[in-house]
Each structure stands twice: as C-alpha cells, then as structure tokens.
Amino acid sequence: MIEFYRIVKPKEKIRLDKYLYKAGLGISRSQIQRLVEAQKVLVNDKPAKPHTPLVPGDKVIVNYKKPERFKVESENIPLDIVYEDQHIIVVNKPPGMVTHPAPGNLHGTLVNALLYHCELSWQTDRTRPGVLHRLDKDTSGLLVFAKSDPALLKLAHQVETHKLKRKYLAFAWGKFELNEGTIDAPIGRHAIERKQMAVTPLASRRSITYFKVIQKFRYITYLKLKLETGRTHQIRVHLAHLNHPVVGDLTYNGRKRPLGVPENEFYEIMSIMPRQALHAAQLGFEHPIHKKSVELDTPLPQDMQKLLDWLNHR
C-alpha cells in the first residue's frame, strides 16, 4: 500500500480528480474515481468527492495499491482501418476484442494490434498508448487513437469537453412509447455488484443519452443513440434502467427472456446475437492538427445485420 501526500501549490486551483490525474499517480481516471468512492482520498483529513475544488494549501492524501507494471507488446493482428494520417488512426473494432491491455489480459487487444501497425503516443500512459476513449469488449465500432503527442493532448481536450461526437446503433428489448427522447440519469458503481454500473444517486456522475427510434418490431426496437457524456457502460445501463435492455447483454438482463416473447424465437435471437447488440457507428471530431471536421461512419457488423434481416422477415 502506498500513501500519496501533497500540499496543493500556490496559485493552483483545480478539481480533485483532475489534480490527481495530473499528479503522477500512474492510474487512470476511472481508477481515481473508484478510490474516491472507497473514501481512500482525503482532503484536509476528510473524505472528498471527485469534483471537490482544491485551493492552495489544501492537504491531499491518497492510500492506494500501485498497479503492476507490464510491458505492452506489439502483435500482428489484422485491423479494419477507417482513417489514418501521421497524427491519428481510426479503426473499426470487432466484437470480442478488448481495447487495451490490463493486468490479466495483456495480449490480443486493439492496442497490441495497433503497435504492430504504427507508432502511438505514449504521452500520458505507459500501458494505454494513444487511447482516448474505449468500447466494451463485446461492443463493436469506431475508435480514434493518437499517433502523435500533440494529437493526444488536443483530442483528449475534445473528449473532456464532450466535443468528440459518438453515435451508436442498438437493438433493445420491447417497444418504446416515444420515438425519440433523452435519458438523463446519474450513473455510479453498483452498490453490491462492484463490476457493474447502475443508475444511482450515490457516488454517481450526471449521464445523458439521446435516443431515436429507427424501426419498431414485435418484441424489439432498433435505435440510434448519441452520447452527451461517456460513462462506463452508459448506453447499456440507461436502456436497462428503462426496462429496455440491449438485446444479448449478459450483464444487464439482455439475455433474459422478456414476458411475451415466445421461447423458440427468443433462443433463435440469442443464437444470432451472442453478444450485446450495440455498435459505435459514427464518430465526429475536429482534426487535432488540421482543424478540419472529421465525420466517419461504418455499417452494421455481420451479426447485427443478420438480426435486422431476421426481424424484417418475421
């Protein structure tokens, strides 16, 4: 166990989570969030919140276990490259692939594949080079990575200020009453299942998802969704909160047969969709160097297209 101790410097005014991220702890923002939730971060000897403002003279103490050091290796794994120049690369991640290495899962990730193909920026994190945002293992779609340090810093600012635009396609159980709407519900760590997220007022952050119905079927709705914020599992948690879980989602009840769905049709849908039916279809941002607007899209992956075809022929 390591104790991190700092007195905030004169002239420094910053919120706690950003201060800790910049202070050299060597851990991610999500790990910092979990430390704060566990009350292992003290400001002036009292538990604090991520957004707690720090002023010169504040005493910050963190008790944490230093993460294992590991080497991120390049691996010759095929990539579906959608866009690339000397500063950035955008790839279409297949379902089943983890975004970056972590203890216990060091190989076969998208970052391993990218390092074989090109250089990535190591500016801020020696275990997640070039990473700006992530997709869950079983979510497919578009991700942008930084190849140069200036690109990493400028794109990170776009992520932080919600200027990096992401749109998703999903199949959710049930019929939506509204054809479009906004889900504004705070997301935090589940009180009991600590590997899951939940809509909760406790130790949570504001989370906003916009949805629009593309097509309604007998038991399933085909949706387009846009993120205003980017919380862990956000779309999956928000749709499950509405009692419309993403089809095939093992974690958030998407593989539980809804009332009214015939057993034979349910199992046929599950065989078509062995993972959550969620795809990051569109990505938009300002190029970090050239300042030009970049708008990219990718079609439905094979399994989701197969499900759409099946639904259209029922």
Residue 74, token pair as written in the block: 């390049």
Cα distance between residue 69 and residue 60, in whole Å: 25
Cα distance between residue 62 and residue 27, in whole Å: 12
- Write the DSSP string, 193-223: -TTSEEE-SSSEE--EEEEEEEEE-SSEEEE
Residue in the structure block whose two tokens are 């938009």: 284
**Residue 23: which residues within 8 A CB-CB, separation 6 or more?**
4, 6
**Residue 103: which residues within 8 A CB-CB, separation 6 or more?**
67, 68, 70
85 in active site: no
Residue in the structure block whose two tokens are 């997220």: 197
Residue 222, token pair as written in the block: 């085909």
- For residue 103, give the amino acid letter: P
Cα distance between residue 20 and residue 40, in whole Å: 12
Cα distance between residue 109 and residue 148, in whole Å: 20
**3-class DSSP assignment, residue 25:** coil
DSSP designation for 116: H
Which residue out of 17, 58, 136, 138 is catalytically annotated? 136
Strands 278-286 and 140-146, by their bridges, are parallel
Backbone φ and ψ of 122, nearest 5°: -105, 20
| Active site residue ranges | 136
